[in-house]
Structures are given as structure tokens and as C-alpha cells.
Amino acid sequence: MTDEIRRYLDKADHALIVAEDLIGQGHAPDSASKIYYAMFYASKALLAAEGIDVVKHSAVESAFGYYFAKPGRIDPKYHKMLMNARKIREIADYDIDEEIIEPVASLKIEEGRAFIAAIKQFLGAA
């Protein structure tokens, strides 16, 4: 495993911890936003392992689907989790009319844990 991949996985783990702390403090929208970043960093680790360097969030999502979910290398449910987490993050960060509530954020944290574990298992870092 390269240093770059390890650093992305470390960032994913850190973002997960922060998301858990935020929800514990009653900050569900911020928690939901942070869990997306945990999944984003784990996705970047996965893509880096294949030599794929994309920056934009939409490109990470697309490459994850194209290279891993579509060919069945990783269960497509994880691609759906990533896409859904991004939508939730956009609501949490930008929408002034809709609020992310605790049960939604808690679900995202559970999905984030599973997502990161699946990526680590795929990379042999579990």
C-alpha cells in the first residue's frame, strides 16, 4: 500500500471519528456532511490504488461506479451509498429549507463505517 493510499484512509478514519463526535454533540447536519467526506476519502484511496487520479466529487463518484461497481469488483450498494451521501451532504451544507435530522445522520454514519470497511477489505488494509 502506498503512502498516498494510507493517507487517504487515515483521512477517512478521521472524518468518521469527527462525524461521530458531531452527532454526539447534536450537530446532525454537520455529521452527515462529514460522513460524506469520510466516504469520499476512502473512494480516493480506492481509485489511487488503481492509478486513477480524479479531483472533482462528481468524477470520484463516476470513476467509483465505472471501475468498481459496474464490473462487480465492489458491491454496487457502496456506489449507491456514496451517491446518496453526497446528496445528503449537499442538503446539509447548502439547503436552507430542508434540515438533516439525527436519524438520517445516524444512518449515514452506519453506512460510512460499512463503506470504509469494504474499501479497506478490498485494499487489504482491514
The answer to whether 45 and 5 have CB atoms below 8 angstroms apart is yes
Cα–Cα distance measured from residue 22 to residue 71, given in angstroms and rounded to the nearest whole number: 36
The residue-averaged pLDDT of 91-101 equals 89
Please report, rounded to a whole number, the percentage of residues in the chain having pLDDT higher than 90.
Answer: 88
The answer to whether 72 and 53 have CB atoms below 8 angstroms apart is no
Quick one: pLDDT band at residue 101, thresholds 50, 70, 90? confident
CATH code of 3-123, in short, is 1.20.120.330
Number of continuous H segments (helices) and E segments (strands) in the chain:
5, 0
The residue-averaged pLDDT of 78-98 equals 93
Per domain, the residue ranges of the chain are 3-123
The residue-averaged pLDDT of 83-88 equals 95
Cα–Cα distance measured from residue 90 to residue 13, given in angstroms and rounded to the nearest whole number: 21
- C-alpha distances in angstroms, 5 versus 45, 81, 83? 5, 21, 21
- pTM here is 0.94
Residue 76 has pLDDT above 80, yes or no: yes
